[in-house]
Every structure is written in structure tokens, then in C-alpha cells.
Amino acid sequence: MYRTIMVGVDGSKYAEAAFEAAAEMAMKFDSRLLIVTIYAPPAIGLLGDIPPYPPTVPKEVESNMMPLLKKYEEKAKQMGVKVVESKIVPVWNTVGAGFVSEAEKQGCALTVIGSRGLTGLTRTLLGSTADYIARNAHCDVHIVRR
């Protein structure tokens, strides 16, 4: 049903729940599971440095995130997922836009993301990555709210 499932992780408890849901679905549907972290550099101030083109992942981000991604890969394999990959995707735009772009590039049939459940004024001011992905993804989106 879902040939490729992509899940976004960032080390939070919300991402952990999303990973578990995605791995379970990948196992049941015999899908390829792609575990990604999207890296968007901090916003540039008036006097700040311009990030490189194409965007790159700083060494400290890579050294912090790769062990987490490998842990998720191993856990998915232990759960019975046959094809598991992970990567850090550097983008210039927002995390949500980077996630949507990577899902399309990878030909995903389903994306899975966690939601912090922001509501009211906080959501209005900050926006919502999950909301952006749900509105803009070319494929099915599963938002985990536990």
C-alpha cells in the first residue's frame, strides 16, 4: 500500500512516537522506511553570515544527530522493517518546506510526523510544521499526537 514511508525525527518525545508509528506501518506494509532530520540554519540577522550554497550540515549537528538516526535504524530493523535508511537533509527554507520537498524527491507515499499540539495564540505566532506538511505534502500525511 505504501511503498516508501518517511518519518521526521528531532530527538523529542513527539518524534519518538512518530518513529514508532512509522516503523510499525512500514513493517505491516513491507515498506521502505526513510528516517530524516531536516536541518535549517538559524535565521540570518542583518549582520549575520550567509549560509553556504548548497546548504550544508554543521559538524556538531551531524555528530549529535547521526547516532540518533543510527539508533532508530537499528530499532526499525529489530521490529522487522526490511529496508531502512536515514539521513540529515540540509535546507535553506523552513523545516516543513524541507520535509515536503524531501518526501516528494524520495517518492514517498506516506509521511509521518509528530505534533506538539500547539493551539491558539502560540500556533498563530509560531506556525506549525505539522500543519504546513499536512497542507502542502503531495502524499498522505499521518500526524501522531501522543
The single residue listed with the C-alpha cell 551531524 is 62
C-alpha angle with apex 130: 3 to 5, nearest 5 degrees?
Answer: 10
Nearest to 18 by CA among 119, 110, 126, 120: 110
Mean pLDDT of 136-143: 96
Q: Extract the C-alpha cell encoding 144.
A: 501522531
Per-residue pLDDT reduced to its tens digit, 15-67 = 999 999 999 999 999 999 999 999 988 766 555 667 667 888 999 999 999 99
CATH number of the domain at 47, please: 3.40.50.620
Q: Extract the C-alpha cell encoding 45.
A: 540577522
Structural domain total, the chain: 1
Q: Long-range contact list for 131-138, CB < 8 A, 24+ apart?
A: 132/94, 132/96, 132/97, 132/100, 133/96, 133/99, 133/100, 136/96, 136/97, 136/100, 137/100, 137/103, 137/104, 137/111, 138/100, 138/103, 138/104
Report pTM. Answer: 0.88
pLDDT at 126: 47
- Provide the percentage of residues in the chain whose pLDDT is more than 90: 70
Rounded to the nearest integer, the mean pLDDT of the chain is 89
> 62 is in which domain, residue-wise?
4-144
pLDDT at 101 over 90: yes
Which pLDDT band, with edges at 50, 70 and 90, does 116 fall under?
Answer: confident
pLDDT at 78 over 90: yes
Per-residue pLDDT reduced to its tens digit, 87-97 = 999 998 888 99
Helix H or strand E segment including 18 = helix 13-29
